[in-house]
Homo-oligomer: A and B are copies of this chain.
């Protein structure tokens, strides 16, 4: 039998050499567990190709012998998409050894990279040429470009620079039959028919394996200012956002909503972290402006503070006076995620709404959750400038794990139904994978589902590539 691990192992070892195959159960562990430790699968084996050609050879072999496969990057996905299937063992194709920066062209503001490059290394390479690669995520030290493309990653700077989709100019993809689709174009404009690359971006590896990308760079920021602003409520944070877009001339690179409860979680995770204010405020906004040339950013932010104070939108504010102080403000944003993790079982969501509906949704959803489970704690923070709310729920501590899971499952369904009412999305940036599939399919109309299925069938009629992600397997 072709998908017999022994035969496959022989093929891979012959093609890739000794370091190219992982079959030791201990070594396999890191390829089957994701960041949150939530998802584990059962791989046939792990292949570690070094070049696009090797990826193509492996895929062609799998295609020929009907072996299911799944590509894997930095294991930082949040929807279980890259973990091997537990029921139908898949060959994991790890891109980690395709980690070459192929070319940097600072005048064209582009960088061309292998899919296995870690995001941080791409950012570092850009910086050496006085450029920035603006994608910024908590996971940037380990996530890989191929994963960023395949999940259309978002993060902190979407407000200004867009999601990964807006940053990709060219792609190289190994199709599910092993053919290489080479469109590594370093062109800022290209209107030659259907923009095929858009299908691979955000496809979670279901249509092909991204092996290379040409990415857009921006001029390196020479100055950055970070501020934490206290506001009376979410509505004020939204009004301040509208003003900030204008006052800051779209130099706004982050605008994060942080209710007080999130600050408390950050202090739980990092007791040494100081509260930047003497007073406790209900809601905070962490904002950042950045400029590559000489603009008076301090004056810009002070003007925003003054205007906001006069209009009753701003209660208090602190403008970081040094990089270290800015770093401490960002620590609040990062450590609160850790604090949430420390509380154990909880529900993470990733909702998008029209920005103008965020305030209303926030209150309606909070009330709806409280009505169903008064003891459950709402931890709702997010990228306001993108309309993206991580409306998370911490169940009462005294429930046992099974009861927590059941409760969270019910609350999620109620929450997602509200998201629908508000014409929102149940996945702003995390994707669908397997975790969100049921909710996703519930919201998909028949026409759209037919188009989705048609696209999957066009690229991968045998359902061998990342099957079961986004859409369910049909065989």
Extra inter-chain contacts (19) besides given A130-B246, A181-B451, A196-B448, CB under 8 Å: A106-B242, A152-B195, A175-B447, A181-B448, A187-B425, A188-B352, A189-B352, A189-B383, A190-B428, A191-B430, A194-B199, A196-B451, A222-B246, A249-B249, A250-B292, A293-B303, A294-B299, A451-B459, A454-B458
A163 interfacial contact with B, CB 8 Å = yes
B292 adjacent to A245 (CB under 8 Å): yes
Residues of B with C-beta under 8 A to A473: none
Encode contact with B along A400-436: 1 for CB under 8 Å, 0 otherwise. Answer: 0000000000000000000000011111111110000
A410 to chain B, nearest CB (A): 22
Taking a contact as CB atoms closer than 8 A, the residue among B105, B440, B447 that contacts A354 in the complex is B105
Encode contact with B along A218-261: 1 for CB under 8 Å, 0 otherwise. Answer: 11101000000000000000110110011111110000000000
- Enumerate 26 A-B pairs (CB-CB under 8 Å) in ascending A order: A105-B354, A105-B356, A107-B241, A107-B356, A130-B246, A151-B191, A154-B189, A158-B188, A175-B447, A183-B448, A186-B354, A187-B423, A188-B352, A188-B355, A189-B387, A191-B425, A193-B470, A194-B452, A194-B455, A194-B470, A219-B250, A222-B246, A247-B293, A249-B293, A250-B292, A451-B458
A440 adjacent to B152 (CB under 8 Å): no
Known interface pairs A451-B181, A455-B458; A386-B188 also in contact (CB < 8 Å): yes
Taking a contact as CB atoms closer than 8 A, the residue among B292, B303, B427 that contacts A294 in the complex is B303
A188 to chain B, nearest CB (A): 5
A447 adjacent to B166 (CB under 8 Å): no
A344 to chain B, nearest CB (A): 27
Q: Which residue of B lies closest to A451 (CB)?
A: B196
A325 interfacial contact with B, CB 8 Å = no
Q: What is the bound-complex CA distance between A158 and B248, given in angstroms?
A: 21
A interface vs B, CB < 8 Å? 105-110, 130, 151-152, 154, 158, 162-163, 165-166, 175, 179-183, 185-196, 198-199, 201-204, 207, 218-220, 222, 238-239, 241-242, 245-251, 291-296, 299-300, 303, 352-357, 383, 385-388, 423-432, 440, 443-445, 447-448, 451-452, 454-455, 458-459, 470-471
Residues of B with C-beta under 8 A to A251: 249-251
Q: What is the bound-complex CA distance between A470 and B195, given in angstroms?
A: 12
Taking a contact as CB atoms closer than 8 A, the residue among B190, B291, B429, B444 that contacts A189 in the complex is B429
A163 to chain B, nearest CB (A): 6
Interface-centre pick from A179, A204, A245, A426 (highest chain B CB count, 10 A): A245
Known interface pairs A107-B356, A185-B425; A440-B193 also in contact (CB < 8 Å): yes
Q: What is the bound-complex CA distance between A192 and B385, given in angstroms?
A: 19
Q: Which residue of B lies closest to A198 (CB)?
A: B198
Known interface pairs A192-B427, A293-B248, A458-B454; A387-B151 also in contact (CB < 8 Å): no
B191 adjacent to A295 (CB under 8 Å): no
Residues of B with C-beta under 8 A to A386: 188-189
Known interface pairs A354-B110, A356-B108; A189-B245 also in contact (CB < 8 Å): no
Residues of B with C-beta under 8 A to A166: 162, 166
A391 to chain B, nearest CB (A): 14
Q: What is the bound-complex CA distance between A121 and B104, given in angstroms?
A: 41
B186 adjacent to A423 (CB under 8 Å): yes
Interface-centre pick from A356, A432, A452 (highest chain B CB count, 10 A): A356
A455 to chain B, nearest CB (A): 6
Residues of B with C-beta under 8 A to A201: 195
A427 adjacent to B188 (CB under 8 Å): no
A293 to chain B, nearest CB (A): 4
Residues of B with C-beta under 8 A to A152: 191, 195
Known interface pairs A107-B355, A452-B193; A187-B300 also in contact (CB < 8 Å): no
Q: What is the bound-complex CA distance between A220 and B219, given in angstroms?
A: 23
Q: What is the bound-complex CA distance between A193 and B458, given in angstroms?
A: 16
Taking a contact as CB atoms closer than 8 A, the residue among B194, B218, B357 that contacts A202 in the complex is B194
B202 adjacent to A195 (CB under 8 Å): yes
A471 to chain B, nearest CB (A): 8
Known interface pairs A108-B354, A242-B107, A294-B303; A428-B191 also in contact (CB < 8 Å): yes
A293 adjacent to B246 (CB under 8 Å): yes
Q: Which residue of B lies closest to A353 (CB)?
A: B187
